[in-house]
Structure 1
């Protein structure tokens, strides 16, 4: 498994998906096989999304790497993740923000949240909090956040997420339903600057300020 992991990450570096040393180290450290269903473990290091049940997927490795790199993470940051899914992406982010940082992750499907919580605890990620709820409403309790990322595609950036993002903070999410674009938004006072990155394909963001 370790050899497969190294091979796929070396390929992503060659293809230009990831350049940041911190992201590369995090992807090498996190055991993706722990986050996929038992019958799919042999495909853990195939760079593709994998079904995790309830109509949800674990994102492809290159997409986790790309989104994490776009977040421009630093140790000690407080990060909000919308869509815990398997917990894999949260673990990668947790590696970078470190013990002084915090990842607050919201999942709308209780069974997935419970499973992710168990795996993250087993692997020692004490700096990740998994909550069940409507991710489009964010989580006021731990706000404001240095960074926010969304692992499902919404019609627009939910208002609550912009409000809960620190001034100067960055948000990464896919926008659109059938034709989706990955964007990076930066909050500058009352303005939000948006940069389009690339076309993507994600499950829809369901919630009060997402797709109904």
Structure 2
């Protein structure tokens, strides 16, 4: 197992020490038990769930760790994550923010949310919460957040979520664009406005939303 972990890490460097520590603390293969060890450490996304239009994947690991570096997480930070998926990204962030920090993660697919909660419970991670629901609404009860991260793409910026970000906080948003690559954007909140600090071409699954929420905000 260690040889696969080490090879993948070499492909992912340079990374901050805190991300490397999190990577070894919560090995990726534990979050995808249906795959072999070798498959778990291939630098590629893996399918977790597919039913109709609902698709969930665990993202390319080198990119996951690169994004965490971009997010500049610190001990004590409170983070909102849209799309819990396997729970691996949630676990990595929970390690970095430490016992004084907090991760709140949304997952709209009940089966995927149950799976993520089960694995996080097995890991005895107590500073992370996965709730089943439409992540586009954010989670007002625990707002404001120091950091916000999307693990799925959207053509529209969710103003409700951005409003829950602290001033000078950072947000990783995946913008879907027709007939083009998705763009992963690192956004800083400055005087209540969005300031794009970095943009990287990428490819992510599309955010799933429930019909009731889309009717309420006029996108259906």
TM range (shorter): over 0.9
* Mapped contact 2:4–2:38 kept (Cα < 8 A): no
Could you tell me how far 1:197 is from its partner in structure 2? 2.4
Q: Is the partner of 1:129 in helix, strand or coil?
A: strand
* Mapped contact 2:11–2:62 kept (Cα < 8 A): no
Structure 2 counterpart of 1:170: 170
Please identify, of 189-198 and 50-59, the stretch whose mean Cα deviation from structure 2 is larger.
189-198
* Mapped contact 2:15–2:66 kept (Cα < 8 A): no
Please identify, of 1-10 and 83-92, the stretch whose mean Cα deviation from structure 2 is larger.
1-10
Gaps of 5+ in 1: none
The whole-number CA distance in structure 2 between the counterparts of 1:184 and 1:130 is: 23
The whole-number CA distance in structure 1 between the counterparts of 2:24 and 2:219 is: 34
* Mapped contact 1:171–1:186 kept (Cα < 8 A): yes
Q: Summarize the alignment of residues 1-212 of structure 1 with structure 2, pairs less than 5 Å apart.
A: 1-13=1-13, 18-54=14-50, 55-178=55-178, 179-207=181-209, 208=214
The whole-number CA distance in structure 1 between the counterparts of 2:165 and 2:74 is: 16
The whole-number CA distance in structure 1 between the counterparts of 2:70 and 2:87 is: 19
Q: Is the partner of 2:205 in helix, strand or coil?
A: coil
* Mapped contact 2:15–2:65 kept (Cα < 8 A): no
> Between Structure 1 and Structure 2, how many residues are aligned?
208
* Mapped contact 1:154–1:210 kept (Cα < 8 A): no
The whole-number CA distance in structure 2 between the counterparts of 1:211 and 1:7 is: 44
TM normalised by structure 2 equals 0.89
Could you tell me how far 1:40 is from its partner in structure 2? 4.2
The whole-number CA distance in structure 2 between the counterparts of 1:122 and 1:59 is: 21
Give the ranges of 4+ consecutive aligned residues of structure 1 lying more than 3 Å apart after TM superposition: 39-42, 208-212
Could you tell me how far 1:210 is from its partner in structure 2? 11
Question: Aligned-pair RMSD on alpha carbons?
Answer: 1.7
